Amino acid sequence: MLPVKRGEPGQLLSSMRFHTSLLLAILLALATLQGCSLLRLGYGQLDHIAAWMADDYFDLDHQQKDEFHKRFARLHEWHRYEQLPDYAAFLRDIRGRVEKGLAREDVVWVAEGVRARYRTLARHGADDAATLLLTITPQQIEALKRQWDKDNRKFIRDHKLDGTPQERQRARVKRALDQVTDWVGSLTPEQEERIAALVTAAPSIQPLRHEDRRRRQREFLALLEQRANPAEFPARLRDWLIDWEKGRAPQYQRLQPEAWENRIAFLVAVDRMLTPHQRATLTRRLQNYIDDFTRLAERRGAQTTAQ
């Protein structure tokens, strides 16, 4: 459904998920924490998760790993105590809107909120990310390319881009059904048919999304070539992280507004078909996330006093 869940952030964040930097690590590490118990247990170990992901992309040496841990610890502390309370408040507002039933303006509001919070994270983490990227060697860039090749092959496989039109359509429907059931629980056969019809009626832009991922990867490699100027590199990296839509292919730019309107219509339509039990399941899961964020943002001294 509408909120940006950590297991599947949705199309709004799809262009951000493969950023190869300190920011990549925290975003992807957060995205692995599916479910409330994993969030509570995993967030405290986020530095280890993020370091593993950064190493998976860059094959970091010992000194780089130490530097990563040091800088990530600062980012993690800021994120925990400064950002999580805001996330909890954001989700409370979303919960209130879900309880009333969603309209188009609610979907737009959520999307704008997600973008704003991503950009806050990007601005805060860009300088540390740039400092670490200055140490990346040509061999590590080759390791990055190999990891990207794996990611791109997985995207093709998951979206059936090399399959028949029917296979691609079935994959789209399955993803949509999985995303909805993750939030609201099981669906009736009638609901599944209606959701499948909504997905089928909307044109697919998955091949364009795939090419846009590759475009971002090419831009990042070109950006790394500009590291010889360390005074300007952080600002360029920050701009690249924030303006992820800049430089899209004309066809994608032309179709993206229509695709976004289709997505809004889909979410509103799904919301209107929810039963009272499904809506209660959705609001309860939102509240669980709110509770988790609130607890995680408590200072240790406050937690001890409360106990």
Query: Which pLDDT tens digits describe the chain residue by residue (307 residues)?
Result: 333 333 333 333 333 333 333 344 444 444 333 344 445 546 666 667 677 778 888 888 999 989 988 888 898 899 899 999 999 999 999 999 999 999 999 999 998 998 888 889 889 988 998 998 999 999 999 999 999 999 999 999 999 999 999 999 999 999 999 999 989 999 999 999 999 999 999 999 999 999 999 999 999 999 999 888 888 999 999 999 888 888 999 999 999 999 999 999 999 999 999 999 999 999 998 998 899 889 989 887 655 444 4
Specify if 260 maps to a domain: yes
CA distance 179 to 241: 26
Specify if 31 maps to a domain: yes
Specify if 232 maps to a domain: yes
Report which DSSP code applies to 160: T
Q: Which residues form the domain of 33?
A: 11-299
- Split into its structural domains, the chain has a count of 1
Cβ contacts of 258 within 8 Å, gap of 6 or more: 203
Residues 171, 91, 31, 126: what is their CA dihedral angle, to the nearest 10 degrees?
120
φ, ψ for residue 273, nearest 5 deg: -95, 0
Distances (CA, A) of 205 to 202, 227, 247: 9, 34, 17
Specify if 6 maps to a domain: no
Residue with tokens 């992280």: 241
Specify if 1 maps to a domain: no
Residue with tokens 């059904």: 177
Specify if 304 maps to a domain: no
Question: Would you tell me the crossing angle of helices 165-184 and 138-159 to the nearest 10 degrees?
Answer: 90
CA distance 67 to 128: 10
Specify if 52 maps to a domain: yes
- pTM, two decimals, is 0.82
